[in-house]
Amino acid sequence: MIPPKPTPRPDRVSLWRYLRLFRQDILSAQPARLYRAWMAEFRTSFFRSYLCNDPALIARVLNERPDDFPKSNRIGEGLRPLLGRSVFVTNGEEWKRQRRIIDPAFEGGRLRDAFPAMLAAGQAAVARLGEGVQEVEAPMSHAAADVIFRTLFSIPIENAVAAAVFAQFRDYQRTQPILNLAAFLPVPAWVPRFHRRRTKATARAIRGLIARLTDDRAAAIAAGTAPDDLATKIMTTADPQTGERFATAEMVDQVAIFFLAGHETSASALAWALYLLARAPEVQDRVAAEAATLGENVAFSDLSKLKFTRDVFREALRLYPPVPMMVRENRCPEVMRDRPVAPGAQIVLSPWHLHRHERFWADPDAFDPDRWQTEACRASARDAYMPFSAGPRVCTGAGFAMVEGPLLLALLVRAFRFAPVAGREPVPVAHLTVRAKDGIWLDIRRR
Q: Where are the alpha helices (DSSP H) in 103-245?
A: 110-128, 137-153, 160-175, 197-223, 230-236
Asked if 258 and 148 count as a contact pair (C-beta separation under 8 A), the reply is yes
pTM: 0.90
Asked if 386 and 398 count as a contact pair (C-beta separation under 8 A), the reply is no
Phi, then psi, of 96 in degrees rounded to 5: -60, -40
What pLDDT score was predicted for residue 131? 95
C-alpha angle 163-168-173 in degrees, rounded to nearest 5? 125
| Window from 59-68, 106-115, 195-204, 425-434 with minimum mean pLDDT | 195-204
Q: For the residues 324-335, what does the mean pLDDT come to?
A: 92
Element (DSSP H or E) covering residue 83: helix 73-83
Asked if 321 and 434 count as a contact pair (C-beta separation under 8 A), the reply is yes
Is a pLDDT exceeding 90 seen at residue 150? Answer: yes
What pLDDT score was predicted for residue 164? 87
| 379: nearest Cα among 55, 40, 33 | 55
Element (DSSP H or E) covering residue 42: strand 39-43
Percent of the chain scoring above 90 in pLDDT: 61
Q: Which fold has domain 15-446?
A: Cytochrome p450 (1.10.630)
Q: For the residues 194-203, what does the mean pLDDT come to?
A: 70
Is a pLDDT exceeding 80 seen at residue 271? Answer: yes
What pLDDT score was predicted for residue 382? 94
What pLDDT score was predicted for residue 195? 54
| Distance in angstroms (rounded) separating the CA atoms of residues 417 and 411 | 11
Mean predicted lDDT score pLDDT of the chain: 87
Listed by start position, the domains of the chain span 15-446
What pLDDT score was predicted for residue 248? 83
Is a pLDDT exceeding 50 seen at residue 18? Answer: yes
Q: How confident is the model at residue 108 (pLDDT cuts 50, 70, 90)?
A: low
Q: For the residues 203-215, what does the mean pLDDT come to?
A: 88
| Distance in angstroms (rounded) separating the CA atoms of residues 315 and 377 | 11
Q: How confident is the model at residue 85 (pLDDT cuts 50, 70, 90)?
A: confident
